[in-house]
Chain A
Amino acid sequence: MSAANLAPITATDSLSQALKANIIPNQEYLLQGSVLDSAVEVLLHRLRGLCDNVDAGTETFDDQEVCFSLRDPNQQAAPLMLRVRKALDARDMPFQLRYIGQPDLGDKSRPTVVRSSLDIACSGMLIEFLNELGCRIEFEYSVKGYMFRKGRMKITVSKVFKISQSSMSPEPISQSYLVELSVLAPQGQDAIGEDMRAFADQLRPLVQLDKIDYKRLGHMSVT
């Protein structure tokens, strides 16, 4: 018999080590914009020219996202939002569970929105698990589109659909595509924001990627 590894590092030790070394990618740097359906082909063409993962054709995705909220029983803290994503085009892939914190827009000198984010791959009975934890479904939608990579940056061009109750094809929410440029990085790596801004500038004639303030959007009247 051979004995190995008499005292393995415990999971809590390795987590606190990772926290101390600041290697956990828990910040999302984000820019958003949109293009009309009629203009999307030109943007995709440009992205195919700029990005890394285009050798084997454009990478597509077709996901469904359910957003849960968890309310504080003492009503003191704001409800916690959790998002569960599953790939409709690759059903044996794990679910993606995501916590997204409040977006911090900063002042004009900050190039991107920064928000805390935890991205967790999960298998098993995640939806039942969250329901039993007391999470409530707030809304759900499906999102279909293209994913590009440029170094550490991720660019998605996607269309948001309402979930159809019947077997009818899902109804798009608007006549445009959502464009997102994001990077997940550990705290304090603000230099990546400048890279993102530079990349966004290269796309500027086709799409304007910006820091979007949802609080202000909420006050705008819907026409």
Chain B
Amino acid sequence: MGTTKTVHILHNSEQPASVFSILESGTKNIHVIADGLFDLLMMKLSQHYTSKKQTKIESKGPRFELGDFCVKLGSVTMNQNFKGILIEVEYRPCVMANAVWGLLREFLQGLLGPTVPVQPPQHLMSRMNEIYTPIDTIYQYLEHFSAYRKVTGMRNN
């Protein structure tokens, strides 16, 4: 079959009617946003692929709104094993990362202290002046989930 490709299927409770799928093929990522029945189709496809059933990972927890900010505190579990806490902060009126990164960083410093990285997340680096869409959030979650997978035990930052 040649090189191994990985298909990730992700759901976000902010967009409950959508399914996000990201296909990792070498250096390229291809994404598709579909409605809920996509999950059923992927089940049908499962006979054609090897499914890694044991690698379900989720971030689940309370969601807060503070003015224009939305903060989600997710406790990350992989197969019922606690892996760490993932914090998502969204500033909702703005659609361009470049215009809001400074503000988000300051907000996060208020929550987490001075350890917040200066650089924006990897995925956004090349997209700082593009319109931000829900798939950009999904890519960031995937980045973190992949990092969680790699470490055994808890992950600290």
B and A form one assembly: yes
User: Which residues of A are at the interface with B, using a C-beta cutoff of 8 A?
Assistant: 1-8, 10-12, 14-15, 18, 24, 26, 70-73, 77, 80, 97, 99, 118-126, 128-129, 132-134
Q: Which of B31, B35, B37, B60 contacts A124 (CB 8 A)?
A: B31
Give the chain A neighbours of B91 by CB distance below 8 A.
none
Chain A residues with CB below 8 A from B36, complex form: 11, 14-15, 18
Which B residues are in CB contact (< 8 Å) with A122?
Answer: 32-35, 38
Pick from A14, A121, A129, A132: contact of B35, CB under 8 Å? A121
Q: With a CB–CB cut-off of 8 A, which chain A residues contact B30?
A: 124-125, 128-129, 132
Closest 4 CB pairs between A and B? A11-B11, A122-B34, A8-B13, A124-B32
A149 → B minimal CB distance (Å): 20
Minimum CB–CB distance for B84 against chain A, Å: 19
Nearest A residue to B39, CB-CB: A15
Whether A129 pairs with B58 at a CB distance below 8 angstroms is no
Q: Is the CB of B41 within 8 A of A6?
A: no
Q: Which residues of B contact A (CB under 8 A)?
A: 1, 5, 7, 11, 13, 16, 19, 21, 23, 25, 28, 30-41, 44-45, 47-48, 58, 60-66, 71, 135
By a CB distance below 8 angstroms, the chain A residues around B63 are: 3-5
Q: In the complex, are the beta carbons of A118 and B48 less than 8 A apart?
A: no
Q: A118-B40, A118-B41 are in contact. Are A124 and B33 (CB under 8 A)?
A: yes
Query: What is the bound-complex CA distance between A133 and B48, given in angstroms?
Result: 10
Whether B64 pairs with A24 at a CB distance below 8 angstroms is no
Are the CB atoms of B40 and A24 closer together than 8 Å? yes
How long is the Cα–Cα vector from A208 to B64 in the complex, in angstroms? 60
Residue of B33, B71, B135 most packed against chain A (CB within 10 A): B33
